[in-house]
Amino acid sequence: MNFRRSVAVMVAPLLGVLTLTACTTAAGEDDKTPVSLDQDWSAAEPITIDVYDGLANYMGIQGGWFGKIVKDKFNMELNVLAPNVAGGGDTLYNTRVAGGDLGDLIVVDKGEQMDELIEGGLLLDSSRYYDSMKNVAPYDAAVDHLNEGKDGVYGFPTSVSSLKPTEPSEGIDPTFGPYLRWDLYADAGYPEIGTLEDLLPVLKTMQDAHPKAENGQPAYAISLFKDWDGNMMVTAKQPACLYGFDEMGFVLAKADGSEYQSIVDSDSEYVRALKFYFDANQMGLVDPESTTQNYDTMFSKYQNGQVLLSWWPWLGQSAYNTDQNMADGKGFELVPMQDQQIFSYGAEVYGGKQFLGIGSGAEDPARIAAFIDWLYSPEGVLANSSQTMGSSGPEGLTWETGDDGEPVLTEFGTKAFLEGGADVPAEWGGGAYQDGVSALNVNTVLPIDENPATGFPYSYKYWPSYQEATANPLTEDWAAHMGDAKSTMEYLQTNDQVIVAPGSSYAAPADTSEIEAIRSQVKASIIEHSWKMVFAKDQAEFDALLAKMQETVEGLGYATVLEFDMANAKAQNEARVEVASTFQ
């Protein structure tokens, strides 16, 4: 015992010392003489850089055709670190940041993360390279806006655009929308849908007529998942987006700033959506596996035709609208819901939510700056843009310029994009095309923007040749019933059913740690109760759970967070109004 005590006495002061040895490395890059990036990097020493990428869905060395392009141009390999793959929320970020080195090339959120990385000295001031970054130059206003109030150039904006902020950033399909299995909707006789709740009897008819999918498994109108639940149950937020709302913390803010709702209020669009799901479940329309499945399981159900409703075109259509299905007239299409006013994100003149930056510990920052610059060049945009946005790929491989100067997909491109994949020729790096796409999954320039080299948008999905090539019984039938609309966005715009939130690039200020602590408890409670409400036994239980949720979050300090979110939502609206008038 005595000995133990003496050890304790010896140890105690040591603890104090160790406590203070937390690590921060200073940037220490005071030299601001400009550096020219104009050199042939392919002759430089080979290096591998760590890319910490908050958007990536692949972890490891970038291979395939994109890897080869980067290797040929910069003699550089990309080791992608993807928190989405690593799992565990912010664990990877926190661990790396605490270790003082997040990565050589960093793709994270602007706002809070950017500020703390600069303060912690983890981001490099790229001012000395910026003058030489010719391809970023056209977006100088966006770069300035991103680095406003900071003593240098610490980041480069993503998803920049030369469109007006009041124009939708989505070109063909909106981000949200009531997408039903059009073929089954047709079988039901194209019933009229006045408002959200009118979907239920329609879905009931559709499900009753088609209780089983082609694979023999039961089909349900609605299938839910929990992976993306954040401030609220994510699938219950989507119907609110059909009425022009988007979330700002616990606030649902209308795109034009005309209305702000607290999500837990009994008359909020969020609770309305919970009620919608509850009613659907009472009618037997909700997949009972919703409570335990993850996104991947649900996605494969969409692929198998086991789900009939999708709130997102990029879920239902990308899973089910294969060439084969569409040729058979089957697939997801937007249905005309008469009172809908779909939320649309305006083009972000100042860039999207994330930014690209160079880590302060980077071995060869000049080469990374040159690489970033290349990502903004037409060649870089075409090769690097994310697949979900319709990245066209490198010229000569997937597409070529036709006789009339219009870009068209090559035979290889048609196979790769429309017929489920193709093997890349050896001189382009080999392997399957899909495996070789850029793992960065970040758009430097919006794919809807015009490629100065061709005069057409970057993404092949907007090329006339593509739209002609993809006409099929499904889209023809849809267009016939939708006033011969050429695209979903066109239909919505002609019918005044879309509401654009000007792209202000507003980034909400960081939660204070107190708010963050309250928020994390409140949102856990909201999500827990929301799920229980959807699967409640009867109306009485639903109401009781709603009351319990309101009471619990109130007790946890909901009001404090709501006030904070409300102020942010209003500030966001001011920024939207301002940007809309600046870029008129």
Q: Could you say which residues in the range 119-138 bind other proteins, by CB under 8 A?
A: 119-120, 122
Among residues 24, 48, 258, 388, which is the contact residue for other proteins, using CB under 8 A? 24
Q: Could you say which residues in the range 338-397 bind other proteins, by CB under 8 A?
A: none
Cα dihedral 194→198→201→203 (10° resolution)? 90
97 belongs to the binding site for other proteins (CB under 8 A):
yes
Residues 163, 458: Cα–Cα separation, whole Å: 13
Per DSSP, the residues of 178-234 read -EEEHHHHHHTT---B-SGGGHHHHHHHHHHH--B-TTSSB-BSB----TT-SSS-H
Applying CB under 8 A, which part among 73-81, 320-328, 419-427, 512-520 lies near other proteins? 512-520
Tell me which DSSP letter residue 435 carries.
Answer: G
556 belongs to the binding site for other proteins (CB under 8 A):
yes
Least Å from the CB of residue 520 to other proteins = 3
Least Å from the CB of residue 556 to other proteins = 5
Among residues 52, 332, 433, 531, which is the contact residue for other proteins, using CB under 8 A? 531
Burial class (CB in 10 A: 0-12, 13-18, 19+), 479: middle
Per DSSP, the residues of 253-304 read EETTSS-EEETTSTTSHHHHHHHHHHHHHHTT-B-GGGGT--HHHHHHHHHT
Q: How far is CA 251 from CA 268, 353, 499, 527, 555, in A?
A: 10, 19, 18, 15, 18
Size of the site for other proteins (CB under 8 A): 49
215 belongs to the binding site for other proteins (CB under 8 A):
no
20 belongs to the binding site for other proteins (CB under 8 A):
yes
Least Å from the CB of residue 53 to other proteins = 17
51 belongs to the binding site for other proteins (CB under 8 A):
no
Q: Look at strands 47-53 and 60-61 and give their pairing.
A: unpaired
Least Å from the CB of residue 125 to other proteins = 16
23 belongs to the binding site for other proteins (CB under 8 A):
yes
Among residues 76, 117, 274, 409, which is the contact residue for other proteins, using CB under 8 A? 117
**DSSP H/E element including 402:** none
Q: Is 120 helix (H, G, I), strand (E, B) or coil?
A: coil
Q: Where are the alpha helices (DSSP H) in 79-126?
A: 83-86, 91-98, 112-119
15 belongs to the binding site for other proteins (CB under 8 A):
yes
Residues 89, 81: contact at Cβ < 8 Å?
Answer: no
Q: How far apart are the first and last CA of the chain?
A: 79
Q: Give the nearer residue to other proteins in terms of CB position, either 443 or 530.
A: 530
Among residues 85, 213, 479, 517, which is the contact residue for other proteins, using CB under 8 A? 517
Among residues 68, 128, 226, 461, which is the contact residue for other proteins, using CB under 8 A? 226
Least Å from the CB of residue 268 to other proteins = 19
Closest CA relative to residue 236, chosen from 535, 569, 561: 535
227 belongs to the binding site for other proteins (CB under 8 A):
no
Q: What angle do CA 436, 441, 446 make, to 5 degrees?
A: 120
521 belongs to the binding site for other proteins (CB under 8 A):
yes
7 belongs to the binding site for other proteins (CB under 8 A):
yes
Q: Is 256 helix (H, G, I), strand (E, B) or coil?
A: coil
250 belongs to the binding site for other proteins (CB under 8 A):
no
Applying CB under 8 A, which part among 115-123, 151-159, 200-208, 575-583 lies near other proteins? 115-123
Among residues 72, 476, 554, 563, which is the contact residue for other proteins, using CB under 8 A? 554
Closest CA relative to residue 473, chosen from 334, 336, 324: 324
43 belongs to the binding site for other proteins (CB under 8 A):
no
Q: Is 154 helix (H, G, I), strand (E, B) or coil?
A: coil
Among residues 2, 19, 33, 584, which is the contact residue for other proteins, using CB under 8 A? 19
Residues 343, 241: contact at Cβ < 8 Å?
Answer: yes
Least Å from the CB of residue 218 to other proteins = 9
Q: Which residues contact other proteins by CB under 8 A?
A: 7, 11, 15, 18-20, 22-24, 88-91, 93-95, 97-98, 113, 116-117, 119-120, 122, 226, 288-289, 291-292, 513-514, 516-517, 519-521, 524, 527-528, 530-532, 535, 551-552, 554-557
